[in-house]
Amino acid sequence: MRELFTRKDINDVIEVHQMKFHDAHCHIPNKSFLKDFDIDESITKWTKMGMEFVVGVSTKLTECQKIVELSKKYYEIIPSFGIHPWGCKKPLTEEIKTKIRTLVEDNPISVIGEIGLDRHFIKKVEYYPIQEEYFRFFLELSVEYKRPVNIHLKGAEEEVSNILTDYDIPSHNTNIHWFSGPNQILDEFIERDYFFSINPSILSGSPHITVLQKASMNRILTESDGNVKYTIDDARIIGSPAIIPKTIDKIAEIKNESKEVISVQLQTNLRRYLNLN
């Protein structure tokens, strides 16, 4: 698959382009994140830094409702609706289905996530069928409403890979969040042309950097996974859109390209993922 821009296209765009960035996976509606960051001040700060969009991922129903409230106030916030596999401990009810479906219907520019399976942090096998029930429900919503998905798959990479083949979700609407699994599955996902969101862990020697090294630049997004904490230059830093520019610097280094070129490509990628092209 060709890059979305040719070399000439990118150079032409850069002439009129103020360097922008995005955050494709940030836990904005999380209570802890809202405690750490004053959203009014932070949105102003991040946009002055160059942030164009931040996808506010949800992990439970209350967060799904909160992110709608925030997205209506701030143009830069794209709502994302999901129930994290860590929270999938009780069977999915029709009430939850109806509430989630309504949120998706009412927000045409939105993402389905954070969703998926977890076999690494969640050890109780009795929760695994429930995780899959939720995961499949959200994948069905993605197909029905043509929404992009944001997928967690820690320790369940092969299972997720197999389940995804059951659903007709376009490759450009599929984002694999913080992949750190087997190279065989990574290669499968690259072959399928999925997106991968790259986070600041690459600044401190994380194996996650393998994804960046192997994936094509037109299949990369950036994420903070805020408010995860990272060690950067010997300091503990809370994840937020503010550390995406440093991440872009590292991406430019690994891809042997200027950060201006990388920025243009990343923003093109995000628009394609969100169906904004």
Instruction: pLDDT tens for the chain, 277 residues: list them.
Output: 323 333 343 344 333 346 899 999 999 999 999 999 999 999 999 999 999 999 999 999 999 999 999 999 999 999 999 999 999 999 999 999 999 999 999 999 999 999 999 999 999 999 999 999 999 999 999 999 999 999 999 999 999 999 999 999 999 999 999 999 999 999 999 999 999 999 999 998 899 999 999 999 999 999 999 999 998 888 999 999 999 999 999 999 999 999 999 999 999 999 999 999 7
pLDDT, residue 18, reads 66
Instruction: Return the closest-CA partner of residue 14 out of 274, 192, 262, 218.
Output: 262
Strands 111-116 and 21-26: unpaired
Residue type, 223: E
Distance of CA 208 to the CA centre of its chain: 14
- Whether 10 is covered by a domain: the verdict is no
pTM: 0.93
What pLDDT sits at residue 234? 86
In a domain, 4, yes or no: no
In this prediction, residue 209 carries a pLDDT of: 96
For residue 143, the model assigns a pLDDT of: 98
Domain-embedded: residue 38: yes
What's the confidence (pLDDT) of residue 58?
A: 98
**Number of domains present in the structure of the chain:** 1
> Does residue 64 sit within a domain?
yes
Q: Kindly give the residue spans of alpha helices, DSSP state H, lying in the chain.
A: 7-14, 31-36, 39-49, 61-73, 94-106, 128-145, 157-164, 183-192, 209-214, 244-255, 259-273
Asked if 116 and 153 count as a contact pair (C-beta separation under 8 A), the reply is yes
Running DSSP on this structure, what letter comes out for residue 151?
A: E
**Nearest one of 31, 134, 123 to 88, comparing CA atoms:** 134
pLDDT of residue 233: 85
Residue 59: inside a domain, yes or no?
yes
On whether the CB atoms of residues 13 and 212 are closer than 8 A, the answer is no
Question: Would you give the end-to-end CA distance of the chain in angstroms?
Answer: 17
| 13 in any annotated domain | no
Quick check: is 9 in a domain? no
Range of the domain at 94: 21-273
Q: How many C-beta atoms surround the C-beta of residue 178 within 10 A?
A: 21
DSSP string, 19-80: --EEEEEE-TTSHHHHHH--HHHHHHHHHHHTEEEEEE--SSHHHHHHHHHHHHH-TTEEEE
Give the CATH number for residue 101.
3.20.20.140
